[in-house]
Each structure stands twice: as structure tokens, then as C-alpha cells.
């Protein structure tokens, strides 16, 4: 992997995957500059990037990807050669309750970002030229739901079933059209379920961890036999780097963990790990006793599984972290960072940026969160 100088616009860098990605770049690419554009919705947390100082290598801009004026000024002043687009509304259950924000951010926001990139095109800068790249980060959920067998490949027809996956499918099509129509150097990754540090505790693994730790019921939807293909977040971030560095324009790459698990298996593993690490419940019962089957999610996709052969063959990427190791690391991280979870659950994490940015009127001006 080269360390050719790059100037990246990373959107949604205060969320789960974006923050892990920025942390990886900080460790691995000292000459890359990252501008993190994040609206700081409920899912954006400044604590995810604690310890990363603003300066030559990193700048935070609080703003909305739907804000064309802000995007124009950032493209003009920074001369990005690379866009890595993570910003999205990302939780299926929220999309069922209120799809509007998913349409706005995931479709209109991606469109606004593509338009800005088209107007400014991506610059080539630095002594060694970095190949320009617009990487749109998407999900395997665009392919719909599998039965007991089969895998999603890059050729699988789109068949999204939730407002979330439909909005991501729309954004994928828009991104692809900007390659074919305008020659924008678009690449798309469709990734399976991520897990690891800094995941917002509304998603399966951190939610179950937190409830199990506190002795609260563990709400498993339906029969709990739905299957997801779990990918450790650092492996995903490595795949994104590989596609930025060596991917082909106009191509899609599926990224998966080769780790199919039924939801019940995942939940029982969390229970068992916690019993082992912190002891059983005060009643002496194992944490598995907290599992409670609740009403199924509407339109609940049965199974996702990825064929990641293309990215392995073309770019040599493979997941490195197996499920047992990844879950051990994840549970250890959450146990070692209980304050991080508690601050989200009690809402305190909102005060960090209300204090830092509220007084500057960042929300009102739509973007002067850049200090």
C-alpha cells in the first residue's frame, strides 16, 4: 500500500465505521489529510474520535451533505482527490418508523455530494499523483433477502425490502450513473453487517451487550433464526483503503466476513462471554436466561451472505479477524469503555458538541463547526 499524499473528504466520520476508518488512516497514512464532514445526528459522536487533534492531518466540519453551498466551499478550498462517503441514516428499525430522513440524507444527500464532486471534479495533487476516487460505501441489504442457500455477488439483482435498503439502493444507482454519464471516478462497496468498537447501541451486538450487562431483557425479533454475515469493522476499513488505492472506476466490490451466524447464536455468545468475564447475574442465573422473543421486525430479511471473491481476486483483500476473536475483542472494548456506552444511553454524549459547537451557532449556520 502506497503512502502517496491524498486529501480526503470523509463524510459521516463521527459514526461507527467512519470513526474506525479515520482512526485507521491516522495510524497508517501520515501524509493523508482528512476532512470529516458530519452533521452530528444522534448517531454522530465526537467521543468516537477522542484523541485525534485537528491540524494538518485532520479537520472536522459540522455540516450536512445536503448543503450544496457548504460542499462547494469545501471542494474549492481543499481540492479533494478522494471522497469516502459513509454519511447515512443507517438503522433499519428507524427507517420503518420514519423513512423521511432516510430519503433526505441517503438519496438527496448522496445526490448533492455527487453533484458537488461533478462540479469540482476531483483534483490530482501532490508530488506523486494520487488517483482520484469517489468511494460510495453501501450495504449488502440492497440485494434483498436470501433463502437457506446462495450468496450475494456483484451480479445479484437489486431487491431492497426496507426503506433503509431502498434508500441505499437508490443512492448506489445514482453513484453508478455519475460514472457512466459524467465519468466521475466512482467505486461502490456493498458490505455485510459490521461489528466492533464505537457501534451505536441501537444495533444488535452493542444493544445486547448493554442489556445483558445490566440484566435487562434481550429482545430477539421473531424466531431469532435470521442470518447475518458479520464483519469486524477494522477488516471493513482495510477493504475501503484497498478499493480507494487499487479499485477500478465504475466497479462494485462486495465486502463480507465469511461469518454467517443466526441472531440467537450471536446473542448467546455475548451472554456467555459476559458470564465468563464479569460473572453470572446477581441471581446466579446465566445471562442466556434474559433472552426474550419479541414481535418480528416488519419485512425482516431472512438471510444475508456475501461472496467476497471479487475483492479477494482483484485487490487481495480478505477478512483477517474471525468471529470468535472479533467478538472477544468487541466485548473487551465495550467492557473497557463503559462510560462511552453510558453517556449514549443517558444522553450525555450530546452535550459534548452542544458545548463545543452550540455556542458557535454551528447548527444555525449549517457548517461553521470547523474550528
Known catalytic residues? 140-141, 164
Binders of ligand TYD among residues 79 to 138 (CB under 6 A) are: 92
The entry of ligand NAD, ligand TYD, none near residue 17 (CB within 5 to 8 angstroms by kind) is ligand NAD
Site string for ligand TYD, 1-40 (x = CB under 6 A): ----------------------------------------
Site string for ligand TYD, 268-307 (x = CB under 6 A): -----------------------------x----------
Cβ distance 7 to 129 under 8 Å?
A: no
User: What kind and span of H or E run contains 166?
Assistant: helix 163-182
Q: 45, 226, 252, 268: which one contacts ligand TYD (CB under 6 A)?
A: 226
Q: 42, 158, 221, 333: which one contacts ligand TYD (CB under 6 A)?
A: 221
User: CA 65, CA 86: separation in Å to the nearest integer?
Assistant: 11
Residues that bind ligand NAD (CB under 6 A): 11-12, 14-18, 37-41, 43-44, 64-66, 86-88, 90, 105, 109, 137-139, 168, 191, 193-194, 200
The entry of ligand NAD, ligand TYD, none near residue 92 (CB within 5 to 8 angstroms by kind) is ligand TYD
Provide DSSP, 65-122: TT-HHHHHHHHHHH--SEEEE--S---HHHHHH-THHHIIIIIIIHHHHHHHHHHH--
**Per CB under 6 A, does 211 bind ligand TYD?**
no
User: CA 122, CA 105: separation in Å to the nearest integer?
Assistant: 22
User: CA 193, CA 203: separation in Å to the nearest integer?
Assistant: 10
**Per CB under 6 A, does 167 bind ligand TYD?**
no
User: CA 63, CA 350: separation in Å to the nearest integer?
Assistant: 16
Q: How far is CA 99 from the centre of its chain?
A: 18
Cβ distance 112 to 175 under 8 Å?
A: no
Q: Which window, 4-12, 30-38, 215-223, 324-332, contacts ligand TYD (CB under 6 A)? A: 215-223
Considering beta carbons, is residue 105 or 268 the nearer one to ligand NAD? 105
Q: How far is CA 84 from CA 8, 15, 42, 167, in A?
A: 7, 13, 21, 18
First to last CA, the chain: 32
The entry of ligand TYD, ligand NAD, none near residue 263 (CB within 5 to 8 angstroms by kind) is ligand TYD
Considering beta carbons, is residue 4 or 153 the nearer one to ligand NAD? 153
DSSP category for residue 284: S
Cβ distance 104 to 164 under 8 Å?
A: no
Instruction: Give the position of cell 454524549.
Output: 349
The entry of ligand NAD, ligand TYD, none near residue 243 (CB within 5 to 8 angstroms by kind) is none
Tell me which residue has its CB nearest to ligand NAD.
15
Number of residues that bind ligand TYD (CB under 6 A): 12
Considering beta carbons, is residue 269 or 290 the nearer one to ligand NAD? 269
Q: How far is CA 234 from the centre of its chain?
A: 11
Q: Which window, 11-19, 199-207, 241-249, 352-360, contacts ligand TYD (CB under 6 A)? A: 199-207
What's the closest the beta carbon of residue 187 comes to ligand TYD, in angstroms? Answer: 22
Which residues does 80 contact at the CB level (< 8 Å), separation at least 6? 7, 8, 9, 35, 74, 117, 120, 122, 123
Binders of ligand TYD among residues 37 to 76 (CB under 6 A) are: none
Q: Which window, 67-75, 218-226, 278-286, 343-351, contacts ligand TYD (CB under 6 A)? A: 218-226
Kindly report the backbone phi and psi dihedral angles of residue 129, in degrees, each rounded to the nearest multiple of 5, phi listed first.
-75, 130
What's the closest the beta carbon of residue 289 comes to ligand TYD, in angstroms? Answer: 17
Residues that bind ligand TYD (CB under 6 A): 92, 193, 203-204, 207, 219-221, 226, 228, 263, 297
Amino acid at each position: 500500500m502506497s503512502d502517496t499524499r491524498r486529501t480526503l473528504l470523509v463524510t459521516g466520520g463521527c459514526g461507527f465505521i467512519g470513526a474506525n476508518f479515520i482512526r485507521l488512516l491516522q495510524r497508517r497514512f501520515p501524509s493523508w489529510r482528512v476532512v470529516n464532514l458530519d452533521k452530528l445526528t444522534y448517531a454522530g459522536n465526537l467521543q468516537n474520535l477522542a484523541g485525534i487533534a485537528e491540524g494538518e492531518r485532520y479537520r472536522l466540519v459540522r455540516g450536512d451533505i445536503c448543503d450544496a453551498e457548504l460542499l462547494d466551499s469545501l471542494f474549492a478550498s481543499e481540492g479533494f482527490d478522494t471522497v469516502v462517503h459513509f454519511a447515512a441514516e443507517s438503522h433499519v428499525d428507524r427507517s420503518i418508523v420514519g423513512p423521511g430522513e432516510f430519503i433526505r440524507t441517503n438519496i438527496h444527500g448522496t445526490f448533492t455530494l455527487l453533484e458537488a464532486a461533478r462540479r469540482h471534479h476531483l483534483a490530482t495533487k501532490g508530488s506523486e499523483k494520487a488517483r482520484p476516487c469517489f468511494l460510495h460505501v453501501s450495504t449488502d441489504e440492497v440485494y434483498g433477502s436470501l433463502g437457506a442457500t446462495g450468496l450475494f455477488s456483484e451480479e445479484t439483482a437489486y431487491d431492497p425490502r426496507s426503506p433503509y435498503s431502498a434508500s441505499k439502493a437508490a443512492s448506489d444507482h445514482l453513484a453508478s450513473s455519475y460514472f457512466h454519464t459524467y465519468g466521475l471516478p466512482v467505486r461502490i462497496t456493498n458490505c455485510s453487517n459490521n461489528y466492533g468498537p464505537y457501534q451505536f447501541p441501537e444495533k444488535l451486538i452493542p444493544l445486547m451487550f448493554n442489556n445483558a450487562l445490566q440484566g435487562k431483557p434481550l429482545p430477539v425479533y421473531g424466531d431469532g433464526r435470521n442470518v447475518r454475515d458479520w464483519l469486524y469493522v477494522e477488516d471493513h476499513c482495510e477493504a475501503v483503503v484497498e478499493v480507494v488505492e487499487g479499485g477500478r472506476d465504475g466497479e462494485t466490490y462486495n465486502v463480507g466476513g465469511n461469518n454467517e451466524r443466526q441472531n440467537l447464536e450471536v446473542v448467546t455468545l455475548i451472554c456467555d462471554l459476559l458470564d465468563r468475564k464479569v460473572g453470572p447475574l446477581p441471581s446466579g442465573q446465566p445471562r442466556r436466561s434474559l433472552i426474550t422473543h419479541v414481535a418480528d421486525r416488519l419485512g425482516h430479511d431472512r438471510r444475508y451472505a456475501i461472496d467476497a471473491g471479487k475483492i479477494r481476486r482483484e485487490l487481495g483483500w480478505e477478512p483477517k479477524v474471525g468471529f470468535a476473536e472479533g467478538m472477544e475483542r468487541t466485548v473487551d472494548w465495550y467492557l473497557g469503555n463503559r462510560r462511552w456506552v453510558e453517556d449514549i444511553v443517558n444522553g450525555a454524549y450530546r452535550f459534548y458538541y452542544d458545548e463545543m459547537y452550540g455556542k458557535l451557532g454551528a447548527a444555525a449556520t449549517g457548517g461553521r463547526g470547523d474550528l
